[in-house]
Copies of this chain bind each other. A is one copy, B any other.
């Protein structure tokens, strides 16, 4: 049943890939990525506005993680009031491009998902 030529990685690097997937397959990571891709360089507060619903703690944690992973740059301007800019690195942009398919999928299919959800909850209530 194994598909011959899709997107399955070689067995050797499988664990590494899974680890990276587990890291980037995070809703805040994806949403930060999307916000930075759409709006370009953003300051912390502005980023928080676009990634609606995120707490400061999670946003801080997420951008730090993304910085560590080489997905974003974090530029601190030593002025008062503080000014910190976040921007995608080339690596981050390439990940954004890779996620593009998922965005388009969500855009196209969110109605189906919602319909399935409704049918499922109805089936479980009845």
A13 within 8 Å of B (CB atoms): yes
A101 within 8 Å of B (CB atoms): yes
Q: What secondary structure prevails in chain A residues at the interface with B?
A: helix
Min Cβ gap A45→B in Å is 17
A84-115 vs B, Cβ < 8 Å mask (1 yes, 0 no) = 00000001001101111111111101111111
Query: Are B103 and A102 in contact (CB-based, < 8 A)?
Result: no
A18 within 8 Å of B (CB atoms): yes
Q: For residue A3, which residues in chain B have a CB less than 8 angstroms away from its CB?
A: 37-38
Residues of A within 8 A of B (CB): 1-3, 6-10, 13, 16-27, 29-31, 34, 37-41, 52, 67-70, 91, 94-95, 97-107, 109-117, 120-121
